[in-house]
């Protein structure tokens, strides 16, 4: 975004392509959960608006489905010695609400990142 403002659209395009191509597998819980939204934004920036929105909607739907799953213990794990345990349902809903809201802001065109 900043490079575009600096009239360096080609450099910006390379970054958007890079973001679009990133892959994260299941293992790491240290990755960026909202990566798909940034990938959708990158697609839109690359002129693939419909594809970007569809991509974002796909993940939004997955997150909406994941939001209402019933946990079998804890919502997530931590590598730290944390004794303060939260209610799994509350944690799950908060986690997915944040992602869904971010996705919605792209789908609805309200984010400043567009």
Partner 1 sequence: MAFGNGTIIAEREKIVIPTYPESPCEELPMFAENRVHQRSTGNPYPNKVVIKTRQKEKIDKEYEAIRLENEYLELIILPEIGGRIFSAKDKRTGYDFFYRQHVIKPALIGALGSWISGGVEFNWPYHHRPSTFMPVDSEIVKDGDGYTVWLSEHDPIDRMKGMVGIHLEPGKAYFETRMKVSNRTSMRHSFLWWENTAVPVNPEYEIFFPPDVDYVNFHYRRSHTTYPIANGMFNGYRYPDEGVDIRKHFNTKFSTSYFSADSDYDFFGGYDNGKKCGVVHVSDHHTSTGKKMFTWAYNQLSQSWERALTDTDGAYAELMAGSYSNNQPDFSWLEPYETKNFSQYWFPISEIGIPTYANLSAAVNVSDGKIKLQTTEKVKNAKLVLEIGGKNVISKKITLEPGEVAEIELPAVDLSEYRIALEGVFEYEKKNRVKNPLPPFFPEVPMPNEESSAYRAYQDGIHLMQFRDPSMDCRKYFERAIELDPEFAPAYETLGECAINDGNFELAEELLNKCIEVTNRLNTEHQSGRAYYLRGLAKKQLGKDHEAEWNFRKAAWSADSVSCGMTEAARIGAKKKDFKIGLFCAETALNYAKENPVAGPIAALCDYKLGNKSAARDRLYAILDNDPLNHLARYALFICGGKMTEKDFYGKLASDPSQTCLDVYVDLLSAGFADEAYQLLADLPVYCTEKLAPVVAYIIGKPELADPMHRTFPTRPEEKNVLVGRSEEYAKYLLGCLEFAHRRYDNAYKLWCECTNFEAARCRAVYLWKMGKIDEAMAELDRAIAAAPDCDQLIYEKAYLLNHMGYDAKKTEEIIGSYVTDIKVARDDVCTEWAAAAIRAGDYEKALWILNNHEYIPCEGGETIIAKQHINAHLGMGIDFYNNGEYSRALDELRIAQVIPDNLGAGLWHEDPLVPSKYR
Please classify residue 37 by burial: count the beta carbons closer than 10 Å to its beta carbon, then call 0-12 exposed, 13-18 middle and 19+ buried. buried
Number of residues near partner 1 (by CB under 8 A): 44
22 binds partner 1 (CB under 8 A): yes
x/- string (CB under 8 A) for partner 1, residues 69-88? xxxxxxxxxxxxxxxxxxx-
Contact flag: residue 58 with partner 1 (CB under 8 A): no
Q: Which residues bind partner 1 (CB under 8 A)?
A: 1-3, 5-6, 15-16, 18-19, 21-28, 30-32, 35, 38, 41-42, 69-87, 113
């Amino acid at each position: 975004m900043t490079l575009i403002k600096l009239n360096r659209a080609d450099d910006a395009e390379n970054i958007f392509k890079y973001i679009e191509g990133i892959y994260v597998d299941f293992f790491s819980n240290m990755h960026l959960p909202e990566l798909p939204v940034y990938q959708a934004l990158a697609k839109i920036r690359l002129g693939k608006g419909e594809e970007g929105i569809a991509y974002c909607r796909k993940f939004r739907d997955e997150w909406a489905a994941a939001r209402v799953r019933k946990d079998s213990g804890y919502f997530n794990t931590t590598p730290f010695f944390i004794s303060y345990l939260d209610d799994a349902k509350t944690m799950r809903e908060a986690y997915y609400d944040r992602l869904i809201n971010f996705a919605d802001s792209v789908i609805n065109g309200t984010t400043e990142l567009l």
